[in-house]
Amino acid sequence: MIRTKFTTKSLTHLIELAKEFEDKLHIWSEDNMNATWETEILIGDYEYFIIVTVENEEDNDTNKLEL
Burial of residue 39, with CB atoms counted within 10 A of its CB: 0-12 exposed, 13-18 middle, 19 or more buried: middle
Q: In the predicted model, what is the mean pLDDT of residues 22-36?
A: 87
Q: Are residues 35 and 29 in contact, defined by beta-carbon separation less than 8 angstroms?
A: yes
Q: Is the pLDDT of residue 65 over 70?
A: no
Q: Is the pLDDT of residue 50 over 50?
A: yes
Q: Is the pLDDT of residue 61 over 70?
A: no
Predicted local confidence at residue 35, as pLDDT: 84
Instruction: List strands edge to edge, sheet with 35-43.
Output: 2-8, 48-56, 35-43
Q: Is the pLDDT of residue 21 over 80?
A: yes
Q: Show Cβ contacts of residue 42 under 8 Å, excluding neighbours closer than 6 positions.
A: 48, 49, 50, 51
Question: Helices (DSSP H) in the chain: which residue ranges?
Answer: 11-31
